[in-house]
């Protein structure tokens, strides 16, 4: 099975990019979650300011990928899906939400904050902002940068569930009792793929063998990060120790 890489976007606390350009929407900050508040989308998304930091970062990376793929603009809802992987999900939001319950009593619970304790919440925003009505779901695994989500997305394309798929990984980067070391901050990377088409100029073929080996531009890759590094040399963010083992 062969698909084309059509676009890519990523967001780190101190760095971000779309396509082959790094720092296209960099939001340098010493405090990990602070950078997310500097994200802006064009055209504006009114709900952006109400989203939790990790969901904003994930949305920004996906929108970046869709822009590179030339799929960001729309008039009618499109048959495009999303598979996103994460390890910690929205743990920072979980902690904020429940600590508020404990501090102020249950009656003070924020319905808005509660909605963003679901890892899949950002997909609702993404589908509304980008007009996506294909299959969308989050997978949670120890190494979210593995190729599991990519293989699921490829299967959905080849079974006819969607015309294009956004596939990527995002995480809260939470340290403390849930990780090791300090918080690394929310971070995300996404790519957009479509079934290989000779009449379309993609950014390189991704080929999947029967044995689940994955080749990008003919060379074996072991993670989503490998694909990004081969695709966009400016993709120089330090992803080691963030989530899983890229």
The footprint of another protein (CB under 8 A) covers: 47, 77, 81, 85, 87-89, 91, 94-95, 97-99, 101-102, 105-107, 109-111, 114-115, 117-121, 123-125, 127-128, 130-142, 148, 151-152, 155-156, 158-161, 176-179, 210, 212
**Nearest CB to another protein, comparing residues 24 and 90:** 90
Using an 8 Å Cβ cutoff, are 86 and 171 in contact?
yes
Measured from the CB atom, the residue of 160 and 218 that comes closer to another protein is: 160
Q: Which residue is associated with the tokens 């990790």?
A: 54
Cβ nearer to another protein, comparing 161 with 234:
161
Least distance from another protein to the Cβ atom of residue 102, Å: 6
Q: How far apart are CB 98 and another protein at their closest, in Å?
A: 4
Contact 11, 171 (CB under 8 A): no
162, 134 contact by CB (below 8 A): yes
Q: Give dist(CA 74, CA 97) in Å, integer.
A: 35
Shortest approach of another protein to residue 8 CB, angstroms? 22
Angle between helices 53-68 and 121-130 (to 10 degrees): 40
Distance between CA 240 and CA 223 in Å, rounded? 12
Give the CA count within 13 Å in the CB-facing half-sphere of 171. Answer: 25
Name the minimum Å distance from CB 146 to another protein.
Answer: 9
Nearer to another protein, 115 or 215 (CB): 115
CB-wise, 176 or 233, nearer to another protein?
176
Provide the minimum distance between the beta carbon of 39 and another protein in the complex, in angstroms, as a whole number.
Answer: 18
CB of 20 to another protein, least distance (A): 29
Smallest CA-to-CA distance from 115 within 148, 151, 133, 90 is with 90
Nearby residues of 213 by Cβ (< 8 Å), 6 or more positions away: 220
Minimum CB–partner distance for residue 9 and another protein (Å): 20
Distance CA 140, CA 89 (A): 8
Q: Toward another protein, which CB reaches closer, 93 or 231?
A: 93
For 71-100, the DSSP string reads: -S--SS-B-EEEEEEESSTTHHHHHHHHHH
CB nearer another protein, residue 25 or residue 170 = 170
């Amino acid at each position: 099975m062969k698909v084309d890489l059509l676009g890519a976007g990523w967001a780190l606390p101190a760095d971000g990019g779309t396509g082959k350009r790094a720092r296209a929407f960099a939001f340098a900050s010493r405090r990990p979650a602070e950078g997310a508040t500097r994200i802006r989308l064009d055209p504006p998304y009114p709900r952006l300011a109400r989203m939790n930091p990790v969901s904003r970062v994930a949305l920004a990376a996906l929108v970046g990928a869709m822009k590179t793929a030339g799929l960001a603009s729309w008039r009618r809802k499109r048959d495009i899906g999303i598979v996103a992987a994460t390890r910690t999900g929205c743990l920072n939001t979980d902690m904020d939400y429940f600590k508020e319950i404990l501090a102020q009593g249950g009656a003070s619970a924020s319905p808005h904050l509660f909605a963003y304790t679901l890892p899949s919440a950002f997909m609702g925003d993404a589908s509304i902002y980008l007009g996506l009505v294909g299959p969308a779901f989050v997978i949670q695994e120890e190494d979210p940068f593995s190729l599991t989500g990519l293989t699921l997305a490829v299967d959905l394309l080849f079974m006819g569930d969607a015309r294009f798929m956004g596939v990527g990984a995002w995480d809260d980067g939470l340290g403390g009792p849930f990780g090791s070391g300090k918080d690394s901050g929310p971070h995300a990377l996404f790519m957009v793929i479509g079934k290989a088409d000779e009449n379309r100029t993609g950014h390189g073929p991704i080929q999947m063998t029967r044995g689940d080996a994955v080749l990008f531009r003919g060379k074996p890759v072991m993670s989503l990060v490998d694909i990004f590094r081969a695709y966009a040399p400016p993709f120089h963010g330090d992803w080691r120790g963030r989530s899983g083992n890229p």
